């Protein structure tokens, strides 16, 4: 199976670090305790990049990668980052049908490269199955151009979770990502309605370009009685989205190592960050100064999670 170089894409790399940050912050919740209670499940792809990061930052978390393609599975064996990662060759729907947490705490990243109604069905089944205090992250293709001439097809396929079933899908990226978030919210509320003891509390959501547009949402399934404590705990996290607000854009710039070292002494920077960093550099890094300032504001927001790609001779 052909895979894009996910391990070399800076926006995707930031998204991975956002999950790591959420997991690390979760650990300090009083009613959670040790992260050794958790098992992480994901679609690792050929390079198992998020598993490598998770092992580096949260080595006590057990890990399981689920992969159905035979050749990708062989590549995973070759790239195995540690001895504590379990590789499973299975279709995810088959795995999910048999999944029984038995009170185990889980972290799932449903990292899809597609958008179809099946992903919402997976999400809803997941919410029904996981134990309280489990984390579910969903990443979906968010490319409005897929439906420029297929609005009827979109409404037919996704009408069951659309806020306005007769509406056309947005033609711009960020509103389209916002619609996907609304659809996941509807799916979550139908699966865990207010009469249930459990609820799905969002923690963060982002949209970014990864070859194509992508949208990602992270949340925790928790007891309604614990929801207030979760929200209070994440309230001061700068990347939190606790009220289903619009997704935050990830659009980090490409900078040389020398430029990054030059900017580093001026960080952190929260007030007029883009303009101040642009002035520090003394030149535009994009089409014009406005776009350059916007990109540099992104760098100020995410510089601690910015990946370092280097050329090496093997």
The arithmetic mean of pLDDT across residues 92-116, rounded, is 94
**105 Cβ contact list (under 8 Å, min separation 6):** 37, 38, 39, 131, 133, 134
pLDDT tens profile 251-305: 999 999 999 999 999 999 888 999 999 999 999 999 999 999 999 999 999 999 9
Structure tokens given for 253: 């710039």
Angle at CA of residue 67, ends 62 and 73, nearest 5°? 100
174 and 246 Cβ atoms separated by less than 8 Å? yes
Which of 61, 57, 59 minimizes the C-alpha distance to 107?
A: 61
Q: Is the pLDDT of residue 6 over 50?
A: no
110 and 134 Cβ atoms separated by less than 8 Å? no
Number of residues written out for the chain: 314
Rg of the chain over all Cα atoms, to the nearest angstrom? 20
Cα 161 → chain centroid: 20
pLDDT tens profile 186-243: 999 999 999 999 999 999 999 999 889 999 999 999 999 999 999 999 999 999 999 9
230 and 135 Cβ atoms separated by less than 8 Å? no
Considering the chain, tell me which residue range(s) the CATH 3.40.50.150 domain(s) occupy.
6-250
Q: What pLDDT does residue 3 have?
A: 47
CATH superfamily, region 6-250: Vaccinia Virus protein VP39 (3.40.50.150)
pLDDT tens profile 22-77: 999 988 887 777 889 999 999 999 999 999 999 999 999 999 999 999 999 999 99
């Amino acid at each position: 199976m052909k895979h894009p170089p996910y391990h070399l894409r800076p926006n995707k790399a930031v998204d991975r670090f956002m999950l790591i940050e959420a997991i690390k912050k979760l650990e300090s919740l009083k009613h959670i305790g040790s992260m050794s209670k958790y098992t992480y499940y994901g679609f690792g792809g050929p390079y198992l990049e998020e598993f490598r990061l998770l092992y580096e930052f949260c080595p006590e978390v057990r890990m399981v990668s689920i992969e159905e393609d035979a050749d990708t599975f062989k590549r995973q064996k070759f790239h195995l980052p540690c001895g504590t990662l379990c590789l499973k060759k299975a279709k995810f729907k088959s795995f999910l049908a048999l999944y029984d947490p038995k009170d185990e705490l889980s972290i799932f990243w449903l990292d899809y490269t597609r958008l179809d109604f099946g992903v919402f069905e997976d999400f809803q089944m997941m919410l029904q199955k996981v134990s309280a205090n489990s984390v579910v992250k969903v990443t979906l293709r968010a490319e409005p151009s897929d439906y420029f001439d297929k609005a009827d097809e979109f409404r037919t396929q996704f009408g069951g979770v659309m806020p306005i079933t007769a509406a056309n899908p947005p033609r711009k990226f960020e509103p389209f990502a916002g619609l996907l978030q609304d659809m996941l919210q509807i799916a979550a509320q139908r699966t865990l309605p207010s009469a249930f003891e459990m609820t799905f509390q969002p923690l963060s959501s982002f949209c970014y370009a990864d070859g194509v547009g992508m949208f990602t949402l992270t949340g925790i399934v928790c007891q309604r009685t614990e929801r207030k404590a979760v929200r209070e705990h994440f309230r001061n996290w700068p990347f939190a989205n606790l009220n289903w607000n619009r997704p935050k854009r990830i659009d980090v710039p490409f900078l040389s190592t020398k430029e990054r070292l030059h900017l580093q002494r001026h960080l952190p920077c929260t007030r007029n960050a883009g303009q101040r960093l642009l002035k520090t550099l003394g030149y535009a890094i994009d089409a014009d100064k406005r776009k350059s300032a916007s990109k540099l504001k992104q760098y100020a927001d995410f510089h601690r999670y910015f990946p370092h790609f280097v050329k090496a001779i093997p």
